[in-house]
A and B are shown apart, each in its own frame.
Chain A
Amino acid sequence: EAGVTQFPSHSVIEKGQTVTLRCDPISGHDNLYWYRRVMGKEIKFLLHFVKESKQDESGMPNNRFLAERTGGTYSTLKVQPAELEDSGVYFCASSRTSGSSYEQYFGPGTRLTVT
C-alpha cells in the first residue's frame, strides 16, 4: 500500500507570503495528524482530524495557520502570512484508529523556510 505523501518536499518563501502544504494519508485511514519540528527542537503536535472533522487543534500556534480536510481524504495546512518562526519541517501522519497505543504512519515531511 502507498504510504503517506506530502507536497511539496521543500518550500522557500518570503516573510508575509502564503504557503499551502498538502498531505495525502494512507487510503482508508480516517485519522490524520499534523506535526511540526522547529530546528533543534522536538516534534510538536499541531492538530488531529477524524475524517473531515477537527478532533483536536490544541497545538496550532496561532490563527495564521489553517488546516482543512474537505471530504475526509487529503488535508492542507495553510500558513498566511508566514513569519520567520514558522520555518521548520511539517510532518503529516495517518492512522486507521485513534488512541495512544496505535501506530501512526508518517510522511517524509515538508521543509518550510521563511526568509
Chain B
Amino acid sequence: AQSVTQLDSHVSVSEGTPVLLRCNYSSSYSPSLFWYVQHPNKGLQLLLKYTSAATLVKGINGFEAEFKKSETSFHLTKPSAHMSDAAEYFCVVSDLGGSYIPTFGRGTSLIVHP
C-alpha cells in the first residue's frame, strides 16, 4: 500500500524568499516520487521525479527535492520564489515493485506575495 501526505494545504511566501513544500509518503516497495505543478486552467506539469537514482533531484524552474528514506519525505524547495510560481503543487508516489497506479497528495497551494 502507498500513501502521500502533503502537510500544508496553503503556503504563503514573499517574492524572493525560499519555498518549502512538504511531502511525506509511505510505500511497501521502492517508491517513485514525483512533484507536479498545476497553474490555473492548465494541466498538471511534471516538475521533477525520483526513481531510485540520486537522492537530490533537480527539476525545472529552479525547483529541487531530496528523497530522505529515513524520514520518508520528499520535500520540494526553491531558493527564491517568483510570482510565476504561484500555483498548486502535487506530490505523487507510485511503487516500483507494486502497482504502478500513482497516489496523489491533496495538493498545496503556493501563494507568492510581491
Contact = CB atoms under 8 A, between A and B. Distances in A.
Interface of A: 3-4, 9, 35, 40-45, 48, 56, 58-59, 91, 93, 98-101, 103-109
Interface in B2-61: 32, 34, 36, 41-46, 49, 51
Contacts of B106: 40-42
Nearest to B95: A100
Chief secondary structure at chain B's binding surface:
loop
Contact of B96 (A40, A44, A101, A109): A101
Contacts of B41: 9, 108
Contacts of B95: 100
Task: Bin the interface of chain B by size.
Answer: 20 to 34
Chief secondary structure at chain A's binding surface:
loop
A109 B104 CA distance: 16
Contact of A101 (B49, B104, B107): B49
Contacts of A104: 102
A3 B42 CA distance: 11
A32 to B, nearest CB: 14
Contact of A98 (B32, B36, B98, B100): B100
A43 B100 contact: no
A103 B99 CA distance: 15
B89 interface: no
A106 B36 contact: yes
Closest 4 interchain pairs by CB? A100-B94, A106-B43, A106-B44, A100-B100
Contacts of A103: 34, 46, 49
A4 B43 contact: yes
A58 B99 CA distance: 12
A101 B51 contact: yes
